[in-house]
Structure 1
């Protein structure tokens, strides 16, 4: 809640944000125009514009040229500097993470997976394909492959619709992720991804790959994910290198 001494536009923005949090305004709802808002609240159009722009800059509202301003989909912050599982990271943000398991079973590693996990071509892995949900909404398609020799019997101990993979690896196999190499690139959704994540045709997405290693530097996990481009903000903490100059 904003302070009584905050600028008028900030107080209006806080009130709108509170209405969204309370469910009085839902994702996709259209807000009044600047003119209508100014007349209803007895403020200037400039103040109304500032309030809307403040929430738009934070991703709470979205503006569609020629159509108006709408309540946006809540943005999920994904930290690139912290190695944690999807479930843990989402729940730390006060939201509910769940999954729909599309596939889980024993497989032979393909070329990319074999190289990533230091396996011979066709080496044994467990492949887990999940649609990731946040507060019941599909936000990502994730394919995870685990070296079979690291987690024997994984098929028998896991409930991946509700449990964290990292928690299972930690509790049953004493495998702890210690480091990872991760890449991220922008792309357009394929027809299959568009259907799964409820996106428009050729919508913007983020493609992420990660190779995860244990404390001894041995790779045990290879992940290929596709995230909704309108749902995630990727955050990295940077420090100035010792030899850096400006």
Structure 2
């Protein structure tokens, strides 16, 4: 099939297909979580090739307007979750407050030892004990984030015995009377690779956002290091200043 477009300017064809789909999303003709037709059907509807259609879909994915689920196809992205990484609040409470449905899954809890990377990040000594918690977060049934949390068992004795399908922040406050006073936060875009990509049900190389947050208590004792691997279309980072 030859690509054909009439009367839509001189932009590359895949961008014109992208514009049509983006307008349908913006106008509500394709609501959030709607499954898009197959690439073959979209190519027929827009009078173009599957290669061009694939380029248009990839552009929309890069913009966070649509997402691809392994073996299920393309879907319109839901509204982004407003997220402030400087605040101590429950993921579930934040998601619920925005009218969404949260789920937390504990994947693994492993007592281990501090390696060179953790020593650099936490200030602990190599070989010190540390507890690694791995969790997956869902919003409205869609996995959106995997996190590795490293907890200091000297500051939090018995921490590996708790149920982590709940707010860790509330657990620290209610059981250990810990207030997280100092936080060092880093964020940058990344490509999700396995095991994170597999846990989120996406193809390795999918765009993501990497967030680390290292927290200490009022006595400057290391409490937790949180590594978060988010799908890039799920967050709106908002931080209040002043």
Q: State whether structure 2 residue 35 is matched by structure 1 residue 28.
A: yes
Q: State whether structure 2 residue 198 is matched by structure 1 residue 211.
A: no
Q: Which residue of 2 aligns with 1:231?
A: 234
- In the alignment, structure 1 segments of 5+ residues that lack a partner are 1-11, 34-55, 64-68, 240-246
Give me the TM-score of the superposition, normalised by structure 2.
0.67
Q: Displacement of 1:205 after TM fit?
A: 0.5
Q: Which residue of 2 aligns with 1:179?
A: 182
Structure 1 residues 173 and 70, CA, compared in 2 at 3 Å: closer, same or farther? closer
Q: Which residue of 1 aligns with 2:109?
A: 104
Q: Which moved more, 1:128-137 or 1:110-119?
A: 110-119
Structure 1 residues 108 and 61, CA, compared in 2 at 3 Å: closer, same or farther? closer
Separation of aligned partners in 2, 1:100 and 1:225: 14
Separation of aligned partners in 1, 2:187 and 2:27: 36
Structure 1 residues 150 and 16, CA, compared in 2 at 3 Å: closer, same or farther? same
Give secondary structure in 1 for the equivalent of 2:109.
Answer: strand
Superposed CA RMSD in Å reads 3.2
Q: Displacement of 1:14 after TM fit?
A: 9.9
Contact preservation (8 Å) 2:25, 2:76: no
Contact preservation (8 Å) 1:106, 1:127: yes
Give secondary structure in 2 for the equivalent of 1:144.
Answer: strand
Separation of aligned partners in 1, 2:156 and 2:191: 34
Aligned residues: 192
Q: Displacement of 1:179 after TM fit?
A: 2.8
Q: Displaced runs of 4+ in structure 1, greater than 3 A?
A: 12-17, 59-63
Give me the TM-score of the superposition, normalised by structure 1.
0.66
Contact preservation (8 Å) 1:27, 1:73: no
- In the alignment, structure 2 segments of 5+ residues that lack a partner are 1-23, 43-59, 68-73
